[in-house]
Amino acid sequence: MEEGTLEKAFPLLLTLTTKFPEYSRGFTALGRYHGLAKNLSESEKAYRKALYLDPASTRALSALGNICLESGRVAEARKLYRTCYEKGGNSPDLQYNLACVEALEKNYEASHKYLAEALKLGYRNLDAINGNTGFAHMRKLASFNNLITNYFGRP
């Protein structure tokens, strides 16, 4: 999958998950494969199986959160992201995703807090921040613009 040859990965992943049906990382890899292949429903099934096998899998929790967010299931995404964080899955991307769900739910103070933490941890995708429609209301706030300016030198 890392080499961009998805067609070669699929039979190997099927063999892995068939021969080792209790190996959660196999299902996590299968979920990633389906995600790269743009098959979100199969990706979600594989990640849910991985999570069933290993409820503490931060990779599966985060990936499922991403699928839910992309599918418009914001409350479910928030729950998955928060669980991921509670299980030790702190990262710049996770904090950014939490900022996104809170902004979509109009919890702007919480969104600002998570975005600040994402930036502190190293999140640097200004295009994603600027293109995120969930942050539209927050862009009107001086505190948001100050935060962006502090990290990027410009809003």
Question: Does a structural domain hold residue 145?
Answer: yes
- Res. 101 pLDDT band, cuts 50 70 90: very high
Question: Does a structural domain hold residue 95?
Answer: yes
**pTM summary value:** 0.90
Query: What's the pLDDT tens digit per position in 114-143?
Result: 999 999 999 999 999 999 999 999 999 999
Q: How far apart are CA 132 and CA 143, in angstroms?
A: 17
Question: Does a structural domain hold residue 1?
Answer: no
Question: Does a structural domain hold residue 34?
Answer: yes
Question: Does a structural domain hold residue 59?
Answer: yes
Q: How far apart are CA 84 and CA 56, in angstroms?
A: 8
Is the CB of residue 121 less than 8 Å from the CB of residue 92?
Answer: yes
Distance of CA 90 to the CA centre of its chain: 11
Q: How many domains does the chain have?
A: 1
Its domain, for residue 20, covers: 6-152
Query: What's the pLDDT tens digit per position in 48-64?
Result: 999 999 999 999 999 99
Query: Which pairs count as long-range contacts for 23-28, CB under 8 Å and 24+ apart, including other chains?
Result: 23/53, 24/49, 24/50, 24/51, 24/53, 24/54, 24/57, 24/60, 25/50, 26/50, 27/53, 27/60, 28/57, 28/59, 28/60, 28/63
CATH number at residue 144: 1.25.40.10
Question: Does a structural domain hold residue 115?
Answer: yes
Is the CB of residue 80 less than 8 Å from the CB of residue 100?
Answer: no
